[in-house]
Amino acid sequence: MVERQQMFSDSWHRVSGECVRLNPAVSMNRQVFRGQVWYLLRDPLNNEYFRITPEAYAFVGRLKGDRTVGDVWQECLALFPDEAPGQEEVIQVLSQLYRANLLQSDLAPDSRQLFERQRKTKTQKLRGQAANFLFLNIPLFDPDRLLTVLRPFFKPFLSPIGFLVWLGVVGSAIWTAIGHIDDLADQSSGVLAPSNLFYLYASTVLIKVFHEFGHGIVCKHFGGEVRKAGVMLMLLTPLPYVDATSSWGFRRRWQRIAVDAAGMGSEFLIASIALYVWLTTSDPLVNRLAYNVMFIASISTVLFNANPLLRFDGYYIFSDLFDLPNLYQRATRQLKFLGERFLFGGKKIVSPAHAQGEASWLTIYGIAAFIYRILLLVFITYYVAQGFLGLGVAIAGFCVFLYFLVPTGKLIHYLVTCERLDRHRRRAFSVTAILLICVVGIIGFIPFPRSFRAAGVLNPAEETVVYAASSGAIAELLVDSPQVVEAGQPIVRLSNLELEFDIESSIQQIDQLDTQIEEARRNQYGTVTGSLTGLAKARRMLLQELQRQHEALLIVAPRDGIWTSPQSREMVGTWAPRGTEIGRIFDPNRFEFVSVVPQKQSGNLFDNQISGSEVRLYQEVGQVIPVRTQEVTPAGQARLPTAALGWLAGGAIQIKKGDNSGMIAAEDFYLVRSQLDFPSGRLPDSARITGQIKFRLPPEPLRFQWSRILRQTFQKGKDS
């Protein structure tokens, strides 16, 4: 039974006397969402869709233009009183159909109003694009005829057999990638290096062409139309796109999901092929391109394109999978409904949730999407401002205007003019004022925890370098790295055939000299005997030295500790001259974390602002290591403690232009040496591990924290 407050409306007199009808060009499809029947109305002119309930369609379908809205509503109320839409619902449906240009009337001014509505619709679209200026769509041509020609060629691939082939190729590639996970991880450190950015963008464009083509060809395969293709400016980066929204009219849910997933399916197939090219090619350029293609078509696709909080493929798959069409718009209306119903005390607004459980879905999604969008805009604006201050300021100003000033103006207009608040306007103003005071109080006066992070590397406080005391080829690793060793334990064995030959030759020469000395003594050749004796003594000394060098071919641990030799396996079979570093042994009970603190954070180091610190290593992010003591190097530094912290190796520190070593930072920094307290039994099994240190600072209101960030951003932009 329709609720009483929805059955009648104070605005009914404005529409009850109008004679309207549906536009004859509007087509209709019947669909089922979450077990409930809906009717999908399509405007072929703009390729736009509008969804209404069966009760609303029973009312709208009776609008023929020869009877008034009031007469048709009375007829529906007489035919099915329990299911007939209320006056408030009728007004909402008619207003939405009117704004979508799906209604017509026989009145003379209606043609002028139609053009006016079309103009307003275009204006709203332009405003929508302005609101999403980081994700603009620029249509260029109609690809429908091209896809019609290509459809027969791709039909075999869009069959159950084709899907099994795709599944086999992608599945085998995933299995192969797992077997080469270390090699893939090693090369990923250079993906964001400046020298690779061009290849990364070129690979992205290539991948997105196949991605969008996948959407278009699958949509065409199921009978849809693809009328728009062009360029999308995603985060101000031009990428291709196609408009496959006609798939919304497909009755079968799995067909809509197939169109939504076709782009990512194409990318996964290309990533699989690129993996095998990367594994089999030896050409550096082809190898780099294949890795970039594989990276973009797999990892970035999963992280961004599959995210349901962004209105990309993951959003539409999520909407179709859980029968939540128009999820973003309805979630926004649900939040508005909750605010008006429970905060402002309004009673006449209708919830956009139609099925059981939808209200929770819409509320959670609306809050999560709003927070994520704000964080994404802040993140993009901040990092753009790091390199391009003017552009970053422009984006920030536009965001403030679009997401703060405009909504504030709309809120004031809503509070002043909304008819549903006629009886609750004072409460609405009061609640809004209280919320505003709370927000100002939270931002301006309540202290919040604050901290900053710095990259660093774990170094042993005490370590011993193990050298090759004798020249030789590395023949065998007696102890794997890393591993605990004891003093005197053999760890590496070298071989030197020339040294063994010299020892054997020296032994033979000494034996021969001993024989000659004995013969000279029997013949009483005193002078000869003395010369031979001296020569034999020299040979014995040489033999002792050679034997000492031979014994040194077996390298033993000079002390107790953890033996590390990261390149030891690659060194097997290679020649190691005397003095070559073979590895290191460090004390597992004493470590220090050497961190690199930028100059913009240096004031906190010297003003005694640090209230505590903790370290997390990338090798084991879940383990928090407390800091026992800290020491700050008072002078600024330029050379990094390890190249692993720089951009060239995938680290977080920007490297000076022209520095191929990866050790010279673009800006001076301060070194902080922190002595760590490792939990008992959880000591690291290797050194030179990179990580981050978190410096905790005294709490401070958000307005001071944000203003400091703005000042630092402006200062950095001016300096650069």
Q: Tokens 């504030």 map to which residue?
A: 408
Average pLDDT, whole number, for the chain? 79
Do residue 474 and residue 562 come from a single domain? yes
pLDDT at 234: 65
Which of 103, 126, 149 is where one domain is finished?
Answer: 126
Whether residue 450 is contained in a domain is answered as no
Model's pTM, two decimal places?
0.62
Do residue 287 and residue 347 come from a single domain? no
What is the CATH classification number for the domain harbouring 638?
2.40.30
Q: What is the pLDDT of residues 301-356, one digit of tens each?
A: 776 788 888 888 888 888 888 877 778 888 888 888 888 888 888 776 777 776 66
Do residue 99 and residue 147 come from a single domain? no
Do residue 308 and residue 388 come from a single domain? no
Cα first-last separation, the chain:
67
Do residue 29 and residue 110 come from a single domain? yes
pLDDT at 421: 78
The Cα 692–Cα 595 span in angstroms is 8
What is the CATH classification number for the domain harbouring 18?
3.90.930
Tell whether the model's pLDDT for residue 690 goes beyond 60.
Answer: yes
Tell whether the model's pLDDT for residue 122 goes beyond 60.
Answer: no
The Cα 372–Cα 303 span in angstroms is 14
The Cα 56–Cα 96 span in angstroms is 12
Which of 545, 562, 585 is where one domain is finished?
Answer: 585
Higher pLDDT, 239 or 276: 276
Do residue 363 and residue 429 come from a single domain? yes
Q: Give the number of residues written for the chain.
A: 720
Q: Tokens 């899907």 map to which residue?
A: 163
Do residue 114 and residue 168 come from a single domain? no
* Mean pLDDT of all residues in 26-51: 70
Q: How confident is the model at residue 433 (pLDDT cuts 50, 70, 90)?
A: very high
695 phi and psi, to 5 degrees?
Answer: -95, 120
Whether residue 305 is contained in a domain is answered as yes
Quickly count: other Cβ atoms within 10 Å of residue 196's Cβ.
Answer: 16
Q: Tokens 């209709």 map to which residue?
A: 28
Whether residue 716 is contained in a domain is answered as no
Tell whether the model's pLDDT for residue 521 goes beyond 90.
Answer: no
Measured CA to CA in angstroms, residue 62 lies from 83, 384, 608, 648 at distances of: 15, 55, 77, 69
Do residue 400 and residue 255 come from a single domain? no
The Cα 537–Cα 272 span in angstroms is 71
* Range list of β-strands (E), 215-303: 228-234, 237-243
Tell whether the model's pLDDT for residue 62 goes beyond 60.
Answer: yes
Give the DSSP letter string of 427-494. Answer: HHHHHHHHHHHHHHHHHHTSEEEEEEEEEEEEEESSEEEEE-SS-EEEEEESS-SSEEE-TT-EEEEE
Do residue 391 and residue 440 come from a single domain? yes
Do residue 578 and residue 615 come from a single domain? no
**CA nearest neighbour of 154 among 217, 243, 242, 229:** 217
Higher pLDDT, 699 or 188: 699
Whether residue 629 is contained in a domain is answered as yes
Do residue 77 and residue 141 come from a single domain? no
The Cα 286–Cα 277 span in angstroms is 8
Do residue 244 and residue 166 come from a single domain? yes
Q: What is the pLDDT of residues 358-393, one digit of tens each?
A: 788 888 988 998 888 888 777 777 766 665 666 667
pLDDT at 115: 40
Instruction: Give the DSSP H/E element, type plus range, for residue 629.
Output: strand 620-632
The Cα 676–Cα 456 span in angstroms is 13
pLDDT at 1: 33
Whether residue 327 is contained in a domain is answered as no
Q: Which domain holds residue 82?
A: 4-126
Number of structural domains (the chain) is: 5
Whether residue 530 is contained in a domain is answered as yes
Whether residue 705 is contained in a domain is answered as no
* Mean pLDDT of all residues in 216-236: 82
Which of 79, 102, 126 is where one domain is finished?
Answer: 126
